Every structure is written in C-alpha cells, then in structure tokens.
Amino acid sequence: MKIYNSLTRQKEEFVPIEEGKVKMYACGITVSGEAHVGHAYQALIYDIMRKYFQKKGYSVTYARNYTDVDDKIIAKSRETGISADVYAAEMIKNIDGVMRRFRVDDPDLWLKATENIGNIIDFIQGLIEKGHAYSTGDGNVYFDVDTYPAYGHLSGRNLQDALDGVRVENDENKKHAYDFALWKAAKEGEICWDSPWGKGRPGWHIECSAMNRAAFGDQIDLHGGGRDLIFPHHENEIAQTEALTGKRFVKYWTHNGLIKVNGQKMSKSLGNSLLLSDLLDKYSDEAIKFALLQTNYRGDINVTDDLFPEAEKHIREFYLTLSEAEKARRGGLIPDRADETFAKKADEAFDKAMDDDFNTALALSDLFGLFKEVRAYLAQNDAKGVALADQIKKTYALLGLFKKTPEEYLTRYNKTHEENISAEAIALAEERKAARANKDWKKSDELRARLTAMGYAVKDTKDGYELQKA
C-alpha cells in the first residue's frame, strides 16, 4: 500500500510507527459558517482512508477537530450579538446535522480547541522553557521561527516567501515579522481564558499540535487536511511540535485538492460557495459522493453545472441494476460458492486501486464495467449476476455507496425528480408521447425542441419516456 507523502513529495510504502496500529488526524472545520461542499469532501476523504486502513487489518484511531474559537468566530459573534461560545456550539450542532444527512461517520475522537485550553497552555510553556517561544509582555506569545532551522520543508518556502501573500500579526514587539502567534492577548469584549501571560486565547496553529499530543503522544502516522493548509498552518504545526518534542511529528502528510466552481476557486468573497445542505436538498448523498470521488483526492475538483446531475443519473442506473438483481434472487436465482468466488474479483480490483494512494477515481471507473457484467449475466439467467451485485454493494459501501435498498433510493429519486419538473413540461412530454404514438414525427421533434428550450431532456423508453432537467 503506497501513500503520497506531501513532505517528501513522493509515494511511499505505508509502514505504521507501531505495528498493526494507525494514528491519524485531520484538520476539521472552523465553525464560523455553514458546512460547504469542500468541508464535506475533506470529511469524506479521511473517513474513507480510515475505513480502508481498517479493511487492511489495522487498528485505527482517527481524530478530527473543530476550531471553535478564532478571529472569524469572534467577528461573527459581534455581527450577530451572540456570544462566541454559544455561536460556535450552535454552528457545530448545525454542521453535525448536515454531515449526518451526508452520511459520513464520526471520527473516533472529536477534539475542540475550547476543551483543550489547559493542554495548549502547557504546550506553549514548554516551548518558552526550551527557548522556542517568547512572551512580548503585553499578553501575546509568539513562536521564534529562527530557532527551528527546518522551517519551510513541508511547503518548500523560505522565510522571505513566508512573508509574501500571507497575513502576519502586526506587533512591534515581535522579534521577526514571520514569527507566529501561539497565544493572543484578549481585546475588550472578546472570549478569553486566564493564562500565565494574562487573559487571552489560543492562536490558530497551536490548537492542532496541542490536541494531537494530548490524544496520541509525540508522533502520529498520518495527518491530513486541504492543500490550502500546507502553509502556514501545517508548516507551523510541524515547527512548534518538533521544536518541543525533538521528534518527527508526522510520518505521512496527506492533502486533498480544492473545490472550484466553473473553474474558479470556491470562496465566500466570490459568492460561489456551495452549501452542503443545499446540495442535499437537490441530490442524494451518494450522487454527491460519486461526483467528488471521480477525481483522485489530491486533484482539484471543478464543479460544473452538470457534475451532480450526471452523477445522479449514474447512481440511478446502478440502483436499477441492483433492483433487477434483487428481483432475480426473489425469482430463485441463488448464487453458489463458485459464483461468490467469481464475484470477489471486484473486491480485488478495488483494493488494487485503493492501494495506490487511495485511488477512488480508478475504483469508480471500474463500476461501469462491473454493472455491465451484472446485466449481461442476469440476461442469461446466470447467478453470477446476483453474486456480483452483492459484492459490489459490499465493496463500495466503503466509499459510502449502495448502502440503501434499491426501493429506498428509487422512491426518493422519483419524488425529487417529480418535484423538479414543472406541470407544463409534463404536459408537453405527454403530448409528444401521443404524437409519437400517431407517428407524427414532425410534431414530436417540435415538442422535443420546446422541452429543450425550457431546460429539459426527454429520453424515449420502451415504457414511454423519461423527463429530466438538462
């Protein structure tokens, strides 16, 4: 099993620090707003990694964090008039709810900055004692970057690069412009805690290091997050943790790609953020997952207008085939052991893809051929089709797919599908159906053109037609 290590910039054979065990951590959400598709994607990717390690036989402990105190949350508190702690707690509740709808499992450990203030203070004190951090005397504490010569190894940046394009704290008492905050002195009206340096709150970077150490000790196997966190967040995590412990903090650094919308980076400033709750109102969780996982996790995903509708069409077709397999089983087509052995080739191909840096894109591309095989065997009344359908459900459940019954999925699909189609479009489709029955092809083509202009696609079937948003 090979994993691309962002630190070494190459794929490496996975060998855990402790035989048979995996300790993994992924940076979670700063709860200053609702969960968007980028948050969903990152949560999905690391849940899949955890589950695949488990499939390989490892005992896994997986932790994620919520950043529940920072500048953005404090700004939201001022904007809404709700105290920062209450605002953060309410946002966590909302985000948890939408993630349940998305059907991503919780980590083994949920870590929150506000529940680890003591661990954070102890960590900072240790850095000061070792000469890697300093208090400015006004309640702020900074990490002295010059005391950690390896700074920049993860991102490949030098110290001058560190100042370019990255917001730095302006404090005339800092030794260097690139030193970063470990503890921030409280401003009037801000949420704060007592510390040896006065009332204040943690800097952003320190929380992950302190919570990691409290949960796992000095070293972990795998640390993940979005590629946008490589610098400065993960770079600073490495510096402060290794400066304190003198040990290599993380063995394998992994970073998922970013979400773009029609070629542009998704951001609040551009107004193109896709909220997960809005997507789930339109599409099944499985269609969203299928769409996102068609790109290898390290690549960026470009969300176009047809990405999720196309994914939903594929999922529907897959479920229709699974439904046919269930009907065949009820009709007496029961697989034997030889059929089940044959079907395991699907699982072997899946593992081969996932062993190559969790290549979900390759694993999903295999589905089209697998379902074609299922349909072919079912057409021949061969039980291999039922066995292969069973194996697909079992194997691809790891990616969050085919966990519903066909009836459950198709009932929801039909309900959502009907709600999204106007009565006028249905009337035109019915008129076109009648025209085709009368062999009035000219009128049929005219009605198709009208439907296309309205934004609908009509597909003729043996039972009549299917009408969908184009």
pLDDT digits (tens, 9 = 90+) for 92-113: 999 999 999 999 999 999 999 9
In this structure, how many other beta carbons lie within 10 angstroms of the beta carbon of residue 299? 12
How far is it, in rounded angstroms, from Cα 391 to Cα 409? 18
How far is it, in rounded angstroms, from Cα 353 to Cα 359? 5
How far is it, in rounded angstroms, from Cα 135 to Cα 367? 57
Amino acid found at 435: A
- 459: confidence class by pLDDT, cuts 50, 70, 90: confident
How would DSSP label each residue in 192-211?
-B--TT-SEEE-HHHHHHHH
Q: Where are the beta strands (DSSP E) in 116-179?
A: 133-135, 141-143
Q: What is the pLDDT of residue 417?
A: 73
How would DSSP label each residue in 333-349?
----HHHHHHHTHHHHH
Specify whether the CB–CB gap between 301 and 295 falls below 8 A.
yes
Residue 106 dihedral angles phi and psi, to the nearest 5°? -65, 155
Q: Answer whether residue 226 shows pLDDT above 80.
A: yes
Cis peptide bond prior to 196, omega within 30° of 0: no
- 265: confidence class by pLDDT, cuts 50, 70, 90: confident
H helices present in 268-383, as ranges: 276-282, 285-293, 307-330, 337-343, 345-355, 360-379
Nearest to 249 by CA among 289, 209, 307: 209
pLDDT tens per residue across span 165-200: 556 666 788 999 899 999 999 999 899 999 999 999
Residue 341 dihedral angles phi and psi, to the nearest 5°? -65, -40
**In a 3-state reduction of DSSP, which class is residue 133?**
strand
Most confident of the following: 280-284, 395-399, 436-440: 395-399
Q: Answer whether residue 462 shows pLDDT above 90.
A: no
Q: Please state the pTM of the whole predicted model.
A: 0.87
How far is it, in rounded angstroms, from Cα 370 to Cα 385? 10
How far is it, in rounded angstroms, from Cα 298 to Cα 357? 9
Q: Answer whether residue 404 shows pLDDT above 80.
A: yes
pLDDT tens per residue across span 43-68: 999 999 999 999 999 999 999 999 99
Amino acid found at 177: A
Q: Which two tokens stand for residue 391?
A: 């194996």
Q: What is the pLDDT of residue 416?
A: 78
Distances (CA, A) of 247 to 213, 215, 220, 361: 12, 16, 11, 35
Nearest to 198 by CA among 187, 181, 209, 186: 186
Please report, rounded to a whole number, the percentage of residues in the chain having pLDDT higher than 70: 95
Q: Answer whether residue 283 shows pLDDT above 90.
A: yes
How far is it, in rounded angstroms, from Cα 397 to Cα 375? 20
Q: What is the pLDDT of residue 163?
A: 61
Q: Answer whether residue 15 shows pLDDT above 80.
A: yes
How far is it, in rounded angstroms, from Cα 234 to Cα 38? 18
Give the alpha-carbon dihedral of 96, 97, 101, 103, to 10 degrees.
30
- 268: confidence class by pLDDT, cuts 50, 70, 90: low
How far is it, in rounded angstroms, from Cα 370 to Cα 391? 10
How far is it, in rounded angstroms, from Cα 152 to Cα 306? 40
Mean pLDDT of the chain: 93
Reported as half-sphere exposure (CB side, CA atoms, 13 A), residue 167 has a value of: 4
Q: What is the pLDDT of residue 165?
A: 55
